[in-house]
């Protein structure tokens, strides 16, 4: 029902790239529902391994069979609950790129790290691992800044706080590629229909990685409208 509402509500002149990131078991259904629409399919994770005996993992090649165009890598919940290190996240980004899937690399600091003044150090360390791993493919990444303290909490980073970090990430990308301006930088963490426009108005915030607010089609469509 959510996908139908999104498809019907997306204006014909929509200019924002839109993708739905679903758990792997729903990807076939999502692919079928979104066929012929302007909405892309994304996975919430991808294996770091190209192939082999890794029971339970979904390789990039397998995801590709279901029309997956993007894969989140390094979402803070994967880092926190599944022990994913910067090195593993970097391998996942590389594995996705190798099969033509665009990785959406998630970075972000915890509340403790922010309060310790470590935000810049943490996000730069997380992104550096990926930049180092993917080499010349840096310009093919999407990067999402998701402060851990803002995810699902209703506490959004202020537009100024988010922009400050996005500017750091943009500069880091610019040191690695001439095409840094083309790398979409998304903000995630309690983005909603009310605060999206102000966040998206910031110079280096190109889009959103929306969780809770995307579960209501009307709210998600409002955010998409703000991203034009």
Ligand X SMILES: O=C[C@H](O)COP(=O)(O)O
- Window of 27-35, 62-70, 85-93, 211-219 that interacts with ligand X by CB under 6 A: 211-219
Q: Rounded distance, CA 29 to CA 191, Å?
A: 26
Q: C-beta of 185: minimal distance to ligand X in Å?
A: 15
Among 173, 209, 217, 223, binds ligand X (CB under 6 A): 209
| Contact between 108 and ligand X per CB under 6 A | no
Measured from the CB atom, is 163 or 190 closer to ligand X? 190
Q: Say whether 146 is catalytic.
A: yes
* Closest residue to ligand X using C-beta atoms: 211
Among 190, 195, 202, 222, binds ligand X (CB under 6 A): 190
Catalytic residue among 33, 75, 84, 109: 75
| Contact between 212 and ligand X per CB under 6 A | yes
Structure tokens at 177: 């590629």
* CA torsion through residues 79, 83, 85, 88, sign: negative
Q: Say whether 132 is catalytic.
A: no
| Contact between 189 and ligand X per CB under 6 A | yes
| Contact between 146 and ligand X per CB under 6 A | yes
Catalytic residue among 109, 113, 146, 166: 146
Give the x/- contact pattern for ligand X in 151-180, rule: CB under 6 A.
xx----------------------------
| Contact between 147 and ligand X per CB under 6 A | no
Q: Which residues bind ligand X (CB under 6 A)?
A: 146, 151-152, 188-191, 209-213
User: Would you name the residues annotated as active-site residues?
Assistant: 75, 146
């Amino acid at each position: 029902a959510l996908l139908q509402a999104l498809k019907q509500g997306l204006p014909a002149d929509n200019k924002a790239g839109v993708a739905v990131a679903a758990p792997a078991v729903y990807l076939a259904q999502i692919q079928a529902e979104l066929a012929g629409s302007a909405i892309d399919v994304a996975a919430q994770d991808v294996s770091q391994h190209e192939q082999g005996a890794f029971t339970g993992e979904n390789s990039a090649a397998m995801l590709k069979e279901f029309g997956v165009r993007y894969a989140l890598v390094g979402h803070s919940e994967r880092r926190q609950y599944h022990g994913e290190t910067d090195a593993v996240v970097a391998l996942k980004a590389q594995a996705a790129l190798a099969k033509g899937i665009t990785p959406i690399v998630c970075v972000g600091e915890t509340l403790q790290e922010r309060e310790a003044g470590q935000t810049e150090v943490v996000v730069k360390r997380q992104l550096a691992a990926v930049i180092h791993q993917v080499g010349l493919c840096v310009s093919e990444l999407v990067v999402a800044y998701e402060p851990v303290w803002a995810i699902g909490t209703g506490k959004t980073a202020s537009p100024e706080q988010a922009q400050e970090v996005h500017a750091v990430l943009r500069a880091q990308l610019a040191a690695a590629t001439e095409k840094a301006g083309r790398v979409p930088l998304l903000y995630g963490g309690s983005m909603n229909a009310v605060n999206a426009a102000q966040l998206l108005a910031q110079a280096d915030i190109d889009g959103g990685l929306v969780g809770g607010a995307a579960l209501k089609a009307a709210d998600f469509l409002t955010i998409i409208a703000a991203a034009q």
